[in-house]
Amino acid sequence: MSDGAGLPTPCVLLFQNDPEETKIIKAALTRSGFDVAGPFGSVTPVHEYMKGDQPDLAILDTASADGAAFHVARELQERGIPFVFYAHWDDLDGVPPEFRDSAFLEKPVSLTMLTQVVGRIIERRAAVLRARSGRG
């Protein structure tokens, strides 16, 4: 998909297993001009999606019972794709040490804040990619 200027619409991978929260977040991202991949609630569909597509950013809910968000985070990290953890502060005890300095948004977060953070991270990543390719 592309925006009005012919540029690709940024895509956000949503890893979230709460159906009600998912609908709200997905609607906010869509209204803000992002494509949304997912929502995904387990690792296997994310792997399948990433065989053919690549998001610009991922929002990962840490509340999955099996720690699946951290498996997804590792794959994203290997591919150089930024991500934001979405968590209650009491969920942070289970965060692996390698992710303790990652970006976190505390539940509940305002949808405005969520979409602004997503937009800023995607803009920053696009600038870095342009600079690396010599076009920025």
pLDDT tens-place string over residues 22-65: 999 999 999 999 999 999 988 889 889 999 999 999 999 887 65
Give the pLDDT score at 51: 93
On whether residue 5 sits in a domain, the answer given is no
The count of domains in the chain is: 1
Give the pLDDT score at 54: 92
On whether residue 1 sits in a domain, the answer given is no
On whether residue 6 sits in a domain, the answer given is no
Range of 104's domain?
Answer: 11-133
Distance CA 82, CA 134 (A): 21
On whether residue 114 sits in a domain, the answer given is yes
Question: Tell me, what amino acid is at 97?
Answer: P
Overall pTM > 0.95:
no
Q: How many CB atoms lie within 10 A of CB 35?
A: 17
On whether residue 2 sits in a domain, the answer given is no
Q: What one-character DSSP code corresponds to residue 4?
A: T
- Strand, coil or helix: 126: helix
Structure tokens at 51: 């065989």
- Strand, coil or helix: 18: coil
pLDDT per residue over 80-97, tens digit each? 999 999 887 666 667 888
**What is the dihedral sign for C-alpha 99, 63, 42, 103?**
negative
Least confident residue range of 12-16, 47-51, 129-133 = 129-133
CATH of the domain at 87: 3.40.50.2300
